[in-house]
Amino acid sequence: MRPLDWMVLAVSLVFIVSYGLWRGRGSTSVRQYLLAGKTMPWYAMALSIMATQASAITFISTTGQSYVDGMRFVQFYFGLPLAMVVLSATAVPIFHRANVYTAYEYLEKRFDAKTRALVSMIFLIQRGLAVGLALYAPAVVLTVILGWPDRWTTMVMGLLVVVYTTLGGIKAVTWTDFQQMLIMISGIFAALIAVIWLLPGGVSFLDALTLAGAAGRLNAVTFNVDWHDRYNLWSGLIGGMFLALAYFGCDQSQVQRYLTGKSIAQSRLSLLFNAAAKVPMQFFILFTGAMVFVFFLFVKPPLLFQPVALERIQAPAFQSEYAPLAERYESAFENRRDAAMRLLEANRDGGAGRREAAVREYKEAQKQFDSVRRDGAGLAERAAGERGFNDTNYIFLTFVTRYLPAGVVGLILAAIFAAAMSTISAEINSLATVSVIDIYQRHFRKDAADRHYLWASRAATVFWGGYAVVTAQFGKNIGSLIEAVNMLGSLFYGGMLGVFALAFFFPRVGAAGAFYGVIAGEAAIFAARFLTGISFLWYNVIGCLVVVATGMAISSLQQRPAR
């Protein structure tokens, strides 16, 4: 990090916090604090919704995911536009007309207090587990750059977010999200332009596409039907749609965004904007990861992108194993680089036969390179005495901090921090809202003054901010953070989606059917998780269908006349 980078990063962070405090002024009632007095325009809600989902994990982990597995992760979002259209027609008008603070408050209006409490607790568990991961992601940044203990980073980030979220409420969260999303978009394009610019002389953009495609890094769409494959067209369209329906239709961190809208039409516009913009944005992020892969074909990357693990296996105690591994790695890198150049030559001047042979040689060189990397990961596991080593989350940051020019590094790091802060602020705000409205006010203190609930909301915000800092320490060594977050959500979202489907579309289903349906749906999801190898995207489909089927069956039995 050079002085200009620190300046860009510092100015961005100071601006974000100051802007949030300024825009959040005047939140002196519970309605203003939790719903912004229903005054938000569609464009602020739209970018806030996008920023909430586009966490630091999106920048750090998605690019690394593309580096190691190609762009097929983009299929995960193919069902999102369909979900947004459905929610615009159903959830938005229903929640607005019900005049609720939370999605789960509506469940009591439709079913009973028991169902509301059950689903509220499911949300608190799921989102409470996820908020720590969202906060841990930027800790990876400073670990790579400065070697700081990641707990320092989580404490600083948690404090900054808690300050403006606690004082300004949802209005501060939404308007800071708006600014943070603009910084994020700038960071995405800066990173993509920079990596293409840094490709070596003689390697054109079309050459980069050739090399990325031959290595399977541009596999954006796969049509295979495989229940165990996490990312293909069908799991994305169907499983991804169910996940998006649950996330944007049942998760308070998203529902609360469009509950702040001036009108139903404004809230609908915010979702439809995301329907049009989300997939292209994710495509650009993944494509950036694919271009980073091409860059490292010609510039030797470290054997392990995790600097602490690399330093550990280079210690004298492991030199007998590391030295020959380093020699193999050097040879594998040179072979892969030479094979890449021969492929480009064959692609320009050779016939079909020569190109096919060059592609086979290039793929074989990539396999050998990956094999050495796996051996390095195995040595890192033995050195640490832990299993499950994964350095995916460090790939993009290694490229950014080592090779990008001054100022651009600061901008991209500002984008990562902005993404983290937008997600964390939204999550602790929604956790506080559900804690106060659905639990505290409903079951412990029903008739207190508005000012009491306002201070209770602020106290709950501080609590969940502190909770996020503590649980962030569990984000270490869990592999791809983007996969971990989505897998965690899929364990709970199917049950939540099912009960809202019953509420919206099955008027004859009663409270008992809804309550026991959710329990049955969650049981089915965890059975699929631990007893089968089905991809996690299908958990949302399974859970939702089991909830609906169980709810209908129980209600049918209750309505059957006695003989």
Please indicate, yes or no, whether residues 318 and 200 belong to a single structural domain of this protein.
no
| pTM of the full structure | 0.81
Residues 209 and 324 in one domain: no
How far CA 446 is from CA of 30, 438, 453, 459, in Å, comes to: 14, 11, 10, 17
User: Which of 444, 475, 506 is the C-terminal boundary of a domain?
Assistant: 475
Q: What is the 3-state secondary structure (H, E, C) of 55-96?
A: CHHHHHHHHHHHHHHCHHHHHHHCCHHHHHHHHHHCHHHHHH
Q: Among 290-294, 392-396, 439-443, whose mean pLDDT is lowest?
A: 392-396
Tell me the pLDDT tens digit for each residue of 434-446.
Answer: 999 999 999 898 8
In this structure, is residue 40 part of a structural domain? Answer: yes
Quote the pLDDT of residue 173: 84
Residues 206 and 334 in one domain: no
What does 228-249 look like in DSSP terms, one character per residue?
T-SSSHHIIIIIHHHHHHHHHH
The CATH number linked to 288 is 1.20.1730.10
The answer on 42 and 20 residing in a single domain is: yes
- Given a cut of 70, is residue 349 above it in pLDDT? yes
Q: Are residues 218 and 281 in the same domain?
A: yes
Window from 74-83, 314-323, 502-511 with minimum mean pLDDT: 74-83
Q: Which residue has the tokens 């369209």?
A: 237
Domain boundary among 460, 475, 490: 475
Q: What is the mean pLDDT of the chain?
A: 86
Q: Is residue 325 located within the same domain as residue 408?
A: no
Over pLDDT 90: what percentage of the chain?
37
Within a domain: 482: no
324 lies in a domain?
yes
Tell me which amino acid residue 110 is.
R
Residues 179 and 102 in one domain: yes
Q: Is residue 435 part of a domain?
A: yes
Task: Encode pLDDT of 11-27 as tens digits.
Answer: 888 888 888 788 777 77
pLDDT for res 241: 87
Q: Is residue 484 situated within a structural domain? A: no
pLDDT for the residue 229: 62
Looking from the CA of 409 toward its CB, the CA atoms found within 13 Å total: 21
| Structural domain count, the chain | 2
Residue 283 burial (10 A CB sphere; 0-12, 13-18, 19+):
middle
What domain range includes position 151? 3-296+399-475
Residue 561 neighbours by CB distance under 10 Å: 4
Do 192 and 329 sit in the same domain of this protein?
A: no
Q: Are residues 140 and 49 in the same domain?
A: yes
Give the model confidence (pLDDT) of 140-177 as tens digits.
666 666 667 777 778 888 888 888 888 888 888 888 88
Residue 496 placed within a domain: no
Q: Are residues 339 and 207 in the same domain?
A: no
Q: Which two tokens stand for residue 383?
A: 């050195």
Among 475, 504, 527, where does a domain finish? 475
The answer to whether 498 and 548 are in contact (CB under 8 A) is yes
Residue 515 lies in a domain: no
Please indicate, yes or no, whether residues 384 and 424 belong to a single structural domain of this protein. no
Same domain, 424 and 449: yes
Structure tokens, 426: 């939204």
Bin 41: left if φ > 0, else alpha if -120 < ψ < 50, else beta.
beta
Confirm if 98 and 111 have CB atoms less than 8 A apart: no
Residue 7 lies in a domain: yes
Q: Which residue has the tokens 């650009």?
A: 284
**CB contact at 8 A, 35 and 101:** yes
* Span 233-290, pLDDT tens digits: 777 788 788 888 888 888 898 898 889 998 999 999 999 998 998 888 888 888 999 9
Contact partners, residue 350, CB within 8 Å, separation at least 6: 358
Range of weakest confidence among 256-270, 332-346, 460-474: 460-474
